[in-house]
Structures are given as structure tokens and as C-alpha cells.
Amino acid sequence: MAKVGLDGHDRGLRVVARILRDAGFEVVYAGLRQSPETIAAMTAQEDVDVVGVSMHNGAHLTLAPAVVDALRAAGLDTPVVIGGIVPPDDVATLLDQGVAAVLGPGASNDEVVASVRGAAGVGPLS
């Protein structure tokens, strides 16, 4: 779970980390000011199944693909889920650029868990 770039608004990141922990995920909390490269390194090191990136400041069209590309450059095909403020018109673009899923404002706890499980290729909670 990380934020890339300069933005420090991490309420969503912290809340989603807890939602996922409560749902049984092991969460590696990388926190603020990560770069695509540090995310890729951590993903490899911790053998992570899904990368979650929180984005709120309008830079998603640059930063999200950068994360995907950094993972691929490191030889990883780990799915990336983006959460935060992404205008609906940009969602398709992000998916085209290799993002696995986008969680927008108002996503429920259940939607968050389902989205991450889906990205990880794990079946739904029974």
C-alpha cells in the first residue's frame, strides 16, 4: 500500500490498509513519498500479490502507468489497484495502461475487498 510522488493525503491509504487487514490480508504498508522504483523493489522483496496505490492530486495519468512500468521493468506482473480520486473519464485510460482496477470515491468496504481479491485472482469471500 503506497502513495507515489509528493501528495501526502493518506487517510484513504490508512483506512484501506485496515479494511484489508480486517479482511485477512497481510498488508505491507509502504506509506508516503514512494517512487515507482521503490514500490517495485518492495514488491519483489516482500513477494506481494497486489500493489495498492492511493492517488488524489490529479497526477494519476502520469504516475499510475509509471508504477505499472516499473513493476514490469523489474520482471514483475503484480496487479496494480489504484484508489482515490480518478475522474470516471480517466478510468478506461488507466485500465488500458495496465492498471488492474480503479476504486473511486464512495467505494464501500466490500467493494475494496472484492476488488483486491479479484486483482489477486482469489475467489470471493464466502
Size of the site for another protein (CB under 8 A): 32
- With CB under 8 A as the contact rule, which of the stretches 43-51, 59-67, 68-76, 94-102 interacts with another protein? 59-67
**Would you give the DSSP letter of residue 122?**
P
Q: Which helix (H) or strand (E) holds 3?
A: strand 2-4
The reply to whether 57 sits near another protein by the rule CB under 8 A is yes
How many whole angstroms from its chain centre is CA 90?
16
Distance between CA atoms of residues 11 and 17, nearest Å:
10
Interface pattern 71-110 for another protein (x via CB under 8 A): --------------x-xxx--------------xxx-xxx
Helix 109-120 vs helix 11-22: crossing angle, to nearest 10: 70
Of residues 5-44, those binding another protein (CB under 8 A) = 5-11, 14-15, 17-19, 27, 29, 31-32
